[in-house]
Amino acid sequence: MPGVIPNQQLEVMIAEGQIAAEPAVEPAQIQPASLDLRLGHVAYRVRASFLAGHGAKVADRLSEFEMHRVDLTDGAVLEKGCVYVVPLMERLDLPGHISAVANAKSSTGRLDLLTRTITDGGTEFDRIAEGYSGPLYAEICPRSFSVLVRPGMRLNQIRFGAGDAQLSDEDLRALHTQTPLVDGEAVIDEGLGFSVDLRLAGTTLVGYRAKPHTGVIDLDRIGEYAPADYWEEVHSDKGHIILDPGAFYILVSREAVTIPPDYAAEMAPYLAMVGEFRVHYAGFFDPGFGHDAAGGSGSRGVLEVRCHEAPFVLEHGQVVGRLVYERMDEAPTQLYGAGIASNYQGQGLKLSKHFKAP
């Protein structure tokens, strides 16, 4: 039966060499339904983003597009607006029926740090074909802030599975009836709809906008940066805001969502024609997200929003994204938030873990 591979099966894949790494995979990398990937020791500054393409190796394309190399051993800055390719410490030797999908980690997305996985022979970002055997690379483009990185940092993650495990809308409605997936009405159309909350209780603060000229963020420094040095507060008492072209915003969903233990989810765009903006859909939602949130069931989803060509009025309650639910192959033995130091369980409007709490 199709399904996403849980943590206990990931451990078996590591033991059997289907997932290998130098140095060896650390237990802390294994999440309920995914594996964190680690940066290697060198970054290649390239002229442009690229895919290897059928029959080609990333290493060969690097020789075509490389501008210079950056040694990450003692830490190095990846500059805003530049594109880098970093070989990862992990490599794969997948069975013929297993494929994988990669995505940026939550904190990576909240820093507007575009991070995508590429492979030898790859024709899509973040998609690893069934039976792939070879190295993995991260393409990194800091878009709002320059960042200081080191070998072993985990900016993206990978989820493995067999077959098409995505729930149909009919199955999703049945699951919502059995176990409520949101705390209000469920908008189900090729997934579970996410809308934006621009009327937060007791405050006019509805989000944050990245400042255009800031200092470097060291990704190892947790809870140390003052939000005001990097973000402008976005306030509204009218239930709408105007998005500026090229600006990056942190907002929050109106819905508190739940991912039951037997399921995982991924954020995806709702509809390309909704408006002149894009909700960053980097996030995997692990089994257990929102399942045991303090004070009740459900956790808000943080929305990373970038406006495109024209200013756009975003209204309270406007649907801006969707959660695509997938079946797990079996329930994981560890759940998000349950003793694994999850950073965003029970969250509301929240910046990445690098910033001090307001």
pLDDT digit string, tens, across residues 37-79: 999 999 999 999 999 999 999 999 999 999 999 999 999 999 9
Dihedral sign, Cα of residue 243, residue 247, residue 253, residue 259: positive
pLDDT of the residue at 295: 43
- Identify the pLDDT of residue 212: 93
In the block, tokens 């079946």 appear at 327
d(CA 267, CA 61): 30
Question: Residue 277: is its pLDDT beyond 90?
Answer: no
CB atoms under 10 Å from CB of 237, counted, come to 9
pLDDT confidence bin for 294, thresholds 50/70/90: very low
Asked if residue 285 lies in contact with residue 344, where contact means CB atoms within 8 angstroms, the answer is no
Residue 138: per-residue pLDDT: 98
pLDDT at residue 183, as a whole number: 85
Question: Which of the four pLDDT bands, split at 50, 70 and 90, describes residue 175?
Answer: very high
Assign 234 a pLDDT band (cuts: 50, 70, 90): very high
Q: Please, which residues bridge with residue 29 across strands?
A: none
Question: In this structure, is the dihedral angle defined by the CA atoms of residues 51, 55, 58 and 61, taken in order, positive or negative?
Answer: negative
* Domains, in order of start, for the chain: 3-162 (2.70.40.10), 169-327 (2.70.40.10)
Tell me how far apart the alpha carbons of residues 27 and 200 are, in angstroms, rounded to a whole number.
Answer: 38
